[in-house]
Structure 1
């Protein structure tokens, strides 16, 4: 029985060997050479750019090749900036947008061991100085290398030495373990985690995460393998686990087969074998999920390239799926999107208006490329008005606006009749605004473009603050002089403004404006009222203008002048300005439900006495009608007109006559 199983295993190995030998393993022309060893190919999303490592007289260096129209790869070009900066290079991994290159590097005097570095594309086949990816991925005492970045840019797979099994005894090859690091919400790389044992079985290297972000291909030395390192494929499952790795028997050979690379189309796999870079068509069962490549150029309205942040969202759930960037050099970008979803792609840059694109990819049957150039606007039209900051009424003003270069773009008056002006502005400029309004302090501010709140056509109100003074109301019992805690109402007679404060609370009133000041009511107390002009009088040691209010207890026969109840000439209709004080009467009656009151109206001595008597009676009824309409029982109120029969002061001047034209509240019944 044991002999049969041994024969069966040998037969299976032989069949696998024949399958591998019979697969179409084609050396990649233009890239591979007989003189040198080419290793670790990496492809852009569209499969048209390849970066790989090759040995030369100076050691390992990185090279770039581009797929020509005739499907031939161009003569490789060395990446001079990267090669010159590093003493050792290996395992390049080109981001799917083609703008960032990750690789393994050792730099004398900078690194203790091999670490992961990256460079950003700054021109056609030109790259920035290498930068360390830093902790927590890189460490001082361990090897980190052969990085592979996911298409969404949020995961990085790489290898570290396997200290438990540093060298495979049979093949004498170095052994590694595969780790992954994920970016957090702040865009920082998280603590790397080793992949599970189903992948890290003992001797692995060269992980490559495919464009679908689910398919991982890696090299592994296993007892059942054909040679030294063979290629295996596993898939990330919905529950976060990884599937049992499948041997890529259609390409594995008795040589080392390592460093896989697949473009987003998923049709061919490129890999290292026998000192060259090979390619092989991928059988259907090994193909990754259907991908769609979206690529284009982000530019402004003048056609200049723009570096843009690119966020990819699930259009149905709003979930952020990927972050990317367009190139600073030429605005190029490339995205790999999986079929089966609809995507919302947001392009944003600090000095431009954001733009969204919708890609409906729920139903796709095969790989395709979408060309989508994006134009970001850097001009906007702004309708500018000038308004009071607190009450937002329009103001007549003199307005001047300077651009970021100091040029005056507006310098004229803006009247109430004109109300606003329309200007064409640039997103990359900061505008200096100066406003002069009579009776207002000079106001200055900046208009700074904000891509999150500004629109290509928008209204903008310059809110000018009025000069204010601090005022504090002190409410006391008129008999005991005891401080009382009551609400205090400040009603501006000059503007539509009402401020409600507590006793002894500082408030800010518009300097020079006239205010009606009324206390609220409390159980057993009448309310009190007065008038002030904000900013007149003496200030206390804290810089406050004090308003002293005295209130008296409710007793039978107590009277209260309602100072702000007014009527038009010879009219019985209440002026709307009366409602504010009448609402305080309602408050008084609601808090003291047992009292009954008389509302008495008085006139001066001008006109016929009988006419004045009738007029005053009708005015008193108008007050009662308003109070009744606000749920005060009519049984608690009596209207009385006294005409000119009860003057407060002699009717011998206009001022005195104004005092005699009044409405009074008198308590008829109380507890």
Structure 2
């Protein structure tokens, strides 16, 4: 049940099969080697130590001693034979039963080990005498998820220790784990894992998958036969995944690279590197950015984020401006905690902040994954009550604030997503419908290879994960069609807060922005020298995270006949009225900023209506609405001579007034340069 993530760096965070078939468990190579090493050490120490014997048969004692000697000579199978013979001669030879159980466990013959330890307990049911047998039986049963059998053993074992002792506390945690595991298995989640694609299986193992918001690009860690770990990338064709390739020669080296995280648009990558580098600690975080098809040379995130301690397992927010990671640096609550850092407007990472309780515990947390909604944090922990070792949990921050204890009490993801093994990490898609992970095949308890799997998120978890949509496309000059490196900002109209701020690719003009469900949002696209474009998205009743594709042509600032018109899509009025709604302030502030940035520009504000009602009434309403916008701009410091209001009523419809949607489009405020 020991901590696999706490004892590996990059390699081996994959998931495994359990006794129930394909389940979402994790047992890393590093963990397994570490745990085996501890078991060997404990066994060797016991075998070297003088042991009291309850056997009266001298021959049995000689066989017992010879078995110990054979194990020290690395002959465990021969040692097993001698222990078996010792027990045949003296069936009540307690120490021989215990040593035989340890030898079986060392050889991964777990059922035989369990039987030997249980024989020892039958011979001496006092846990104060046979504590090692009680500990081994409970450990073996818990490791196999046999919680109902483990509970009475643990409860009996507990009586051997003082109630306030450290050992009693440890056993009480195991009892809580057994009770939780038993309940979880009686109420399983509906989960059916399936392979992502056989085309991805080009190396010994694949693990730690991450995807872009549109699920068209997949990046994962690949383990090669020679032991090198690299980052590989595959793209979705619409029907299947292409064969993966190295993400970049600028990123992959003869050393190990892994545990990557992508921004929603796939153009920012943060990953872990640990070996033979000019790093600051044992493992450091590095960043690379993509322009066109090329990734930049990786840069260490620097001494503010990285330290002489351990930093690994990064997770980027959708816009790449917030980073979660794991570290054992001073100032945390436990051994390894989840930390967070933000990118300031100048592109500098700020001093990391510990997430604190209830996410972090006095034990280990690992593998954080912040969903594209920026509110749901998935992570692994061996500190919260689970099914044994590391389980996966989710915690929510509905307000998005940094206030103390702003995260909700973590919830265990349940069985079979969690089981008695260690769980590594999970990636949940932006629309909240699917999860990706790695499944580790085993043979006789030894990891063979790891493959990428996926499953549909069960309904109980979908209800927790607020889905998001995505908007993607290309920003171009409306006249030359040249790609533009535009800034795209998404703003919550209710709070006036910037939800997302990204930049389109300088070479291709391509962008991807996350659009949260459940609110009204304004999206602004701007480039110096161009009219800004405003878009409006009302998702107050939208619950599904369906993506949208929208290419945005921007008009250059020009005057006269060439002057283009733009619609202010986030100006709102009550029906039949000309009072500006409060949520219009975001749009008007953008127009104020544009006019202050371009002090020589003069503009017309034009009001338009649909054809419902009297034409004269509509004309008057359009004039008053345009004037309301001009008055706002004047109060904001824009010279009156630079802005004029004109009402056109129903005379210039964009589309025929034949449907309610068309009439909505015709009710608008436009602006253009004079």
- Alignment TM class, shorter chain as reference: 0.5 to 0.7
Does 2:510 align with 1:332?
yes
Whether the aligned pair in 1 keeps the contact of 2:522 and 2:535 (CA below 8 Å) is yes
Match of 1:385 in 2: none
1:220 aligns with 2:381: yes
Structure 1 counterpart of 2:339:
179
Alignment deviations for residues 88-132 of structure 1 (CA, whole Å, 9 cap, x no partner): 3121111012211111124745313322111112334x3221122
Residue 650 of structure 1: aligned partner: none
Distance in 2, matches of 1:166 and 1:195, equals 9
Equivalent residue for 1:61, pick from 230, 252, 258: 230
SS at match of 2:460: helix
Deviates more, 1:204-213 or 1:179-188: 179-188
Q: 2:597 aligns with which of 443, 452, 459?
A: 452
Find the aligned partners of 2:279 and 2:364 in 1 and give their Cα distance: 25
Q: Deviations over 1:606-630 (max 9, x none)?
A: xxxxxxxxxxxxxxxxxxxxxxxxx
- Within the candidate set 22, 31, 38, 2:206 is matched to 38
- What do residues 224-260 of structure 1 show as CA deviations (whole Å, max 9, x unaligned)? 4335332111111437421111111141234432232
Partner of 1:514: none
> Is residue 203–residue 223 contact of structure 2 (8 Å, CA) maintained in 1?
no
Q: 2:266 aligns with which of 98, 105, 110?
A: 98
Are 2:446 and 1:282 aligned? no
Question: How do residues 11-30 of structure 1 correspond to structure 2 at under 5 angstroms?
Answer: 12-14=180-182, 16-17=184-185, 23-30=191-198
Q: Is the 8 A contact 1:351 1:451 kept in 2?
A: no
Please state if 1:231 is matched with 2:385: no
1:133 aligns with 2:301: yes
Change (3 A) 1:111 1:424: same
Secondary structure of the corresponding residue to residue 547 of structure 2: strand
Matches within 5 A, 1:548-567: none
In 2: Cα distance, 1:40 partner to 1:123 partner: 25
Specify which structure has the higher proportion of strand.
Answer: 1
Q: 1:281 to 1:119 in 2, by over 3 A?
A: same
CA distance in 2: counterparts of 1:15 and 1:35, whole angstroms: 38
Q: Which residue of 1 aligns with 2:425?
A: 259
Aligned partners of 2:603 and 2:357: how far apart in 1?
58
Choose the corresponding residue for 1:306, options 477, 484, 488: 484
Q: Equivalents in 2 of 1:157, 1:22: separation in Å? A: 29
Give 1:197-596 correspondences, 5 Å limit: 197-201=357-361, 202-222=363-383, 224-238=385-399, 240=403, 241-250=406-415, 251-274=417-440, 275-287=450-462, 288-301=465-478, 302-378=480-556, 380-381=558-559, 452-453=597-598
CA contact (8 A) 1:149 1:155 kept: yes
CA offsets 1:439-485 (integer angstroms, 9 cap, x no match): xxxxxxxxxx99932799869xxxxxxxxxxxxxxxxxxxxxxxxxx
Deviation sequence 1:286-342 (CA, Å, 0-9, x none): 121131211111111222221111111123443222211111232111111222221
Name whichever of 199-208 and 272-281 sits farther off. Answer: 272-281
Based on CA coordinates, which of the two structures has the bigger radius of gyration?
A: 1
Q: Which has the higher helix share?
A: 2
Question: Residue 273 of structure 1: CA displacement?
Answer: 3.7
Per-residue Cα deviation, 1:524-569 (whole angstroms, up to 9, x for no partner): xxxxxxxxxxxxxxxxxxxxxxxxxxxxxxxxxxxxxxxxxxxxxx
Contact 2:234 2:241 in 1 (8 A): yes
Unaligned runs of 5+ in 1: 168-174, 383-421, 426-448, 460-671
Is the aligned partner of 1:121 residue 2:290? yes
Structure 2 SS opposite 1:380:
coil
SS in 2 for 1:259: coil
Distance 1:4 1:91, change over 3 A: closer
- 1:192 matched to which residue of 2? 352
Name the CA shift for 1:120/1:158 in 2 (closer, same or farther; >3 Å).
Answer: same
CA contact (8 A) 1:208 1:216 kept: yes
Shift of 1:360: 1.8
Over aligned residues, Cα RMSD in angstroms? 3.5
Q: Is the 8 A contact 2:380 2:423 kept in 1?
A: yes
| Residue deviations 1:379-398 (CA, integer Å, cap 9, x gap) | 5236xxxxxxxxxxxxxxxx
Name the count of aligned residue pairs: 387
Closer, same or farther in 2 for the Cα pair 1:160/1:351, shift >3 Å? same
**How far has the Cα of 1:51 moved from its partner?**
0.6
Are residues 1:155 and 2:316 paired?
A: no
Whole-angstrom CA distance in 2 between matches of 1:296 and 1:455 = 32
Q: Which has the higher contact order (CA 8 A, sep 6+)?
A: 2
State the TM-score, normalizing by the size of structure 1.
Answer: 0.52
SS in 2 for 1:159: strand
What secondary structure is seen at the aligned counterpart in 1 of 2:558?
A: strand
TM-score by length of 2: 0.52
- 1:68: Cα distance to partner? 2.6
Change (3 A) 1:163 1:342: closer
How far apart are 1:20 and its partner, in Å?
6.3
- Cα distance in 1 between the residues matched to 2:176 and 2:504: 55
Rate the CA distance shift 1:154–1:328 in 2: closer, same or farther, 3 A: same
Structure 1 counterpart SS, 2:181: helix
Pairwise CA distance, 1:52: 0.8
User: Secondary structure of the equivalent of 1:258?
Assistant: coil
